[in-house]
Amino acid sequence: MITVIGEALIDLVSVRGGDPVAHPGGSPANVAVGLGRLGAPVHLITRYGSDPHGELLAAHLAASAVEVARQSRSAGRTSVARADLDTSGAASYIFDIVWNLPESVGVPAGSRCVHTGSIAATLAPGADQVRRVLAAEHAKARAVVSYDPNCRPSLMGDPGPARERIESLVALSDVVKVSDQDLEWLYPARDFADVADAWLALGPSLVVVTRGADGSYGVCAAGRATAPAREVRVVDTVGAGDAFTAGLLDALRRRALLSPAGIRRLDPATLGALLVDASVVAALTCSRAGANPPTAAELGAYRREHEVGSEADRG
For residue 115, is pLDDT > 90? yes
d(C-alpha 180, C-alpha 213), whole Å? 11
d(C-alpha 165, C-alpha 52), whole Å? 34
- Per DSSP, what are the bridge partners of residue 219? 207, 224
Q: What pTM value is reported for the model?
A: 0.90
Contacts of 249 (CB under 8 A, 6+ apart): 2, 31, 35, 40, 113, 115, 146, 175, 258
| 3-state secondary structure (DSSP) of residue 21 | strand
Segment 209-243, tens digit of pLDDT? 999 989 999 999 999 999 998 888 887 777 889 99
Q: Report the pLDDT averaged over residues 288-311.
A: 79
d(C-alpha 200, C-alpha 30), whole Å? 25
Q: Report the pLDDT averaged over residues 122-145.
A: 93
For residue 151, is pLDDT > 80? yes
Give the strand pairing for 91-96 and 113-117.
unpaired
Which amino acid appears at position 189 of this protein? A
| 3-state secondary structure (DSSP) of residue 224 | strand
For residues 284 and 13, the model is more confident at 284
CATH level 3 topology of 2-314:
UDP-N-acetylmuramoyl-L-alanine:D-glutamate ligase (3.40.1190)
* 240 alpha-carbon distance from chain centroid: 9
Report pLDDT for 16. Answer: 66
Report pLDDT for 89. Answer: 57
d(C-alpha 5, C-alpha 46), whole Å? 6
For residue 314, is pLDDT > 50? no
| 3-state secondary structure (DSSP) of residue 12 | strand
- Report the chain's mean pLDDT, rounded to a whole number: 89
From 277, 271, 269, 270, select the one nearest 300 (Cα to Cα): 277
Q: What angle do CA 256, 259, 265 make, to 5 degrees?
A: 80
Which amino acid appears at position 75 of this protein? A
Q: Report the pLDDT averaged over residues 165-190.
A: 96
d(C-alpha 197, C-alpha 199), whole Å? 5
